[in-house]
Each structure stands twice: as structure tokens, then as C-alpha cells.
Structure 1
């Protein structure tokens, strides 16, 4: 979740450190005088990805997050507009172009129907979900089956809103798939 919020709220670039893409357990150290110019720690431990555990889950998420930008050009869109930040529910929501980002940082509380405001009325589809089992999540949302339609209830200063499910400690990226003109 921290990677996603850092990635999508940044300007036009994202810096990832060597080994960070799959939670490298040891240091990655380049040869220098302090280690007698050893190459011992100057490599990634790719074998960690063979076990279907946390390292492969983080790697899958990192790949899909980078693909999101490659396919949708998230970083080249307008700057993010944070419009919902609730300290008690630990939910943050913002838009960037036609994309809605919703983060539930609460460690225990999931929400079946949480209202966030959106500027554009229409149908929204989840295109990235950190709760997916592929990323080590609980799989409470089946992303490919859900299409959310806005309603005319005001929220967060917008005329339209979405009622979304928010599993605990998860983030979802929604894409506006169809604009509704009334």
C-alpha cells in the first residue's frame, strides 16, 4: 500500500531501490573499500521468487503496479487531487485523471459500503486491488466481477459518489469506464 500511494502521488517519476521490488531480506551492497571490494552482497536473490510466499507476492504487485503506469500512463496524468482523508476510519481517497485511488489503512476494520466522492458520474471498475490473493491479500473482493456506478449523493465536495467495499489494510484503483450524462 505504501508503494502504491508513493507511486501514485509522486510527480512524474518513481524511484525503486535494488531489491525493494520483492522485499529482499538481506542488504544489497556494491563492492567498495569497506567490504574489500567483495561482490558477495552485490546481487539479488532471485531464488526467493521461486517459493510462493511474501517475496513472490511483493514482486507480482510491483510488476502489476508498473504495468498500470505503462498501460494507463498514471504518472503523466494531472497531479493527484486528495479529496477524502478520514483519521478515524484511516481512509484516504484521491483522483488522478480518470482514476480513483482508495486506501483503507485500518488494521482491523473493513467496510462493506464506504462512500467516497467523485467528480464524474459513471461506471467505475477496479483495475488494481492490493487485497488480491496474488499479492498476499485476503481476496475479499473479486475485482473482475465488480463494476460500481455512481449515485447522486454528495460526498467530499462532489455531486456524485461511489459506495465501495474496503477490506482492511487494502487499496483499490478504480478506472472510470463509462461516463454517465444526465
Structure 2
């Protein structure tokens, strides 16, 4: 319960610019080595009446009025960006298994409340609204598409069968977190307003690297500001130069798995 409790506390008590990369890394990776753990960023308790799902905590009532694809909302933009990033970083760092409560993968806005005396034995909230993700005019489909791509990437890379993540850079100044696991490099820019040109990052192997997952991809409800087909080459010191956009995450893989790169990084 440490990880979901951490996300609740962080979102309730800290402004975005106050988030500590060190605290985040410590919470996500603080476990006994060799003892398998199941990671999750929100528990079933958060989907029950009286509490809020991660998506609802991020976007709250705005989800009722501004989730149409043709509507604009800074609250929804922030919430969707962080929803994708929080799920990705939790899956990639939190353990050797991944747990999701039904509907949370596409940001279901409401709770579940089973029939009981306190609600007059009502069935009104005793359901998940699958129609939300099936409606092409709503943004829930984007979160669902991202979740599918994220899980597929983890499966194909056998990510959770690999040793725990190794930090490459925990950058408090720029709010950047980067780590390596299972042949993949994960780079998170948690800043809400700072785009960073030519961010130099040491990687485990020299050569050509390609983006295989970009949270800002348009098919995930992002703005599609990066050309994910562009290769990245290490310099003589084994560093990559990356363009990091605010509230986005990139996953890169060294060339040698071009099939995965095409499937996960180049679909529009």
C-alpha cells in the first residue's frame, strides 16, 4: 500500500513544482531485493464510495464536462498527462507484478458503491461505465490506448522479469527522473512548464536508440510534439541528447528491436 498511499498524499499535499524526485524514487523502489512485489498506483479502496480514483483526484468534476475530444481544458490536459506518467513509472519501477482495478486503465471517473442499507440498497453506482471508453467522442479512449501500449511493451520486453530498475539521473533541479530496466531507458520530465533542449543522459550502451513509447503521442491524447521516428545516437561518452517536453515520458530501446519500435512508437 505504500505506493498508492504515496500518490494520494503527493497529489493532496504538494504542488506540482514541490514534487521531490528523490522521494518519488525512494518510495517506488524501496523494497527488499529478491522478494517479489506487486505494484499498483491506486487500490480498490480508492474506487469505492468515499474515496477518489487517481483520475478523479487529478481532474475531479471537470471530467463530467470537459472530456470530449473537441473541448479544451488545462485541468484535463494536466490530469491525463500525469495519469499516464504515474501509471508508467509505477509499473516500470514498483515490482515484479502489476495490478489494475477495472476501469482505472481508462480513467473511470466515479466510485463503486454496492447495495447497502446506507444507500437504500441502490444499484446506481454498482457498475463500471464501459460505454465511456467505447465512445469515440470522449478522451477516455486515449487513456485506454496508452494503457494497452504500456502493458504490451512491458510484456514484450519481459520488463517485470528483469532485476529492479537502475537510476540514470535523479534531477531535482529540472524535475527529471531517468532509469534503466530490462533493456529500456525511461525518461520522465515531471515539470509542468519546462521544456528542456539537449538534455544529456548517460545510457547503458553506446549506439542508436529509438523511442518505443511516448506519452505525448496524439493517439494517447497527447499533443504529438515529438517525431518518434527520429533516431538518437550516443556521443563519445555514451550520452544521449534528448528533447524533454513538460509532463511527458519517453521510453527508448537500443536498435536491435526495430520491430518493437515500429509497433509501439510509430503507430498514429
Q: 1:29 Cα shift?
A: 2.8
Farther off after superposition, 34-43 or 23-32: 34-43
Q: Distance in 1 between matches of 2:117 and 2:162?
A: 44
* 1:85 Cα deviation after fit: 0.9
Aligned residues of 2:198 and 2:243 also touching (Cα < 8 A): yes
Name which of 184, 188, 205 aligns with 1:99.
Answer: 184
Query: Which string of whole-angstrom CA distances, capped at 9 and with x for unpartnered residues, describes residues 19-74 of structure 1?
Result: 21111111123445544554332221122121443311111111111111222211
Q: Greater strand share, 1 or 2?
A: 1
Q: 1:33 to 1:16 in 2, by over 3 A?
A: farther
Q: Distance in 1 between matches of 2:124 and 2:193?
A: 41
1:11 aligns with 2:80: no
Where 2:91 maps in the other structure, the secondary structure is helix
Distance 2:136 2:111 in 1: 20
**Which runs of 5 or more residues in structure 1 are unaligned?**
154-159
Give 1:81-96 correspondences, 5 Å limit.
81-96=166-181
Q: Does 1:165 align with 2:243?
A: yes
2 CA distance for matches of 1:42 and 1:123? 50
Equivalent residues in 2 for 1:1-182 (5 A)?
1-32=85-116, 34-49=118-133, 50-143=135-228, 145-153=229-237, 160-178=238-256
TM-score (norm 2): 0.60
Could you state the TM-score of these two structures normalised by the residue count of structure 1? Answer: 0.87
Q: Segments of 4+ in structure 1 off by > 6 A?
A: none
- Output one character per residue of 1:151-178: Cα deviation in whole Å (capped at 9) or x when no partner: 123xxxxxx1100111111000001124
Q: Supply the distance in 1 between the matched residues of 2:162 and 2:142 (Cα, whole angstroms).
A: 28
Instruction: Give 1:140 shift.
Output: 0.9
What CA RMSD, in Å, does the superposition of the two structures yield over aligned residues? 1.8
Greater Cα shift, 40-49 or 91-100: 40-49
SS in 2 for 1:75: helix
CA distance in 1, matches of 2:164, 2:171: 21
Which ranges in structure 2 are unaligned for 5 or more consecutive residues?
A: 1-84, 258-268
Aligned residues, how many? 172
- Aligned mates of 2:144, 2:186 — CA distance in 1: 21
Decide whether the 8 Å contact of 2:163 with 2:181 is kept in 1. yes
